[in-house]
Amino acid sequence: MKLKVFSVSKIHKNVFLIKLFSAILITGLAFSLFIFHSSDFSPVFASVTGRFEARFLPPKVIVPENEDLIPQDIEIEKCNLFAGKWIPDSSGPSYTNSSCGNLIDGHQNCITNGRPDLDFLYWKWKPHDCLLPRFDPRKFLQLMRNKSWAFIGDSIVRNHVESLLCMLYTVEEPVEVYHDKEYKSKRWHFPIHNLTISNIWSPFLVQAAIFEDSNGVSSAAVQLHLDKLDETWTSLMPTLDYAIISTGKWYLKAAVYHENAKPVGCHICPEKSRLVELGFDHAYNASLRNVMDFIADETNRKGTVFFRTSTPDHFQNGEWHNGGTCRQTEPVSDEEAEMKNVHKILRGLEIGQFERAVREKMGEDGGGGNVKLLDFTGMLLTRPDGHPGAYRAFRPFDKDKNAKVQNDCLHWCLPGPIDYLNDVILETIVNG
């Protein structure tokens, strides 16, 4: 029998190959585990120092497996995109506080301003009776090639247009091509898709003389012409493919009301005035009648018009002007949410005048055609956590942890809950 002899160098070579193969296996296993768990990290948000900081998601919430599915006994044709609830969403927002240039108004840039909690970013809107696709900015831009949009109304409208612009920015950067003297009305252009989006400042939608400084402090009552629409927006309607119109909260301000070029009454009447207190609801109803009649008349417009119901605030223990705050950090249920009487009045007038105008101007069946109602009041009522609160200002507690600061419980953080209005709007455009 012959004895096989192995050289020392050959043995060393075999040992090296075994070690190399083992190292490759271990590296592959580690990489697989990293990829598997990578979903436990959120999008990266820029801190106030300018650095990017990854963070873990908020505590896991157990959600039934069928939470995001449609019950089998529901008819899709009867889908109501505005009735639903907020459910946990580990994917978070599609943009960050620093990913869309300087589009976000400083008062709504909550994360840059130092808001410490980010859990409010990890919820999405889920209608009860239908699937709601996530907003697809590329699809939106493709559908809106060579189109023109306008968002018409108050500062909540501006809040909304900035949300849409930031979502679209993930595909194409918009170019600002116009602004008025006070930078309240602006226009942006997406050159690759030839899409124009405008923000038109018209907080009452009717003609108004407003006496306020940049901080919103009034020196005199507003002079409001209830029977004369603001030509700032009406003159544009024949050129627009899509318009979103909204108002509401400005009607709560002290004002003198005019009709037929004569004062007819007031709300929070000036001292020594002989005018009759008519209440904001009288003025809002009269103005809305004229607004709705105008947009329901096909000869006044080119494209589709959405009227958005007013959005609720969540001030507690006061209001904007007397120390109201909003410290919630997560959504509430329908049972927990309580709509203030003023919001009920505003929404009731909006829906009532919309339905009347559509019925009278567009047919007895109430079919809206190219005039549509966006009833977002209830959807946003359950998101008291989505406001800037104290973080409307940059790092308000750096110098004094107990500082008394102005809270904003009316506008919405960006990114934040208002982004999901765009999911509903795109779905409405695509599938009616």
* Residues 6 or more apart whose Cβ sits within 8 Å of residue 131: 68, 69, 70
Distance of CA 237 to the CA centre of its chain: 23
Residue 379 to residue 417: CA distance in whole angstroms: 9
CA-closest candidate to residue 243, choices 357, 366, 348, 160: 160
90 is catalytic: no
**Of 155, 202, 287, 310, which residue is the catalytic one?**
155
Residue with tokens 């009278």: 360
DSSP 59: P
Across the chain, how many H-helices and E-strands are there?
Answer: 8, 15
214 is catalytic: no
Residue 191 to residue 145: CA distance in whole angstroms: 10
Three-class SS state of 321: helix
Residue 6 to residue 9: CA distance in whole angstroms: 8
**Of 267, 314, 411, 423, which residue is the catalytic one?**
411
DSSP, residue by residue, 329-395: -S---TTT----HHHHHHHHHHHHHHHHHHHHHH-TT---TTEEEE--HHHHHT-GGGS-BGGGSSS
CA-closest candidate to residue 160, choices 101, 247, 79, 229: 247
User: Is 172 exposed, middle or buried, given 0-12, 13-18 or 19+ CB atoms closer than 10 A?
Assistant: middle
Strand partners, 308: 374
Three-class SS state of 277: strand
281 is catalytic: no
DSSP 305: E
Three-class SS state of 137: helix
Known catalytic residues? 155, 408, 411
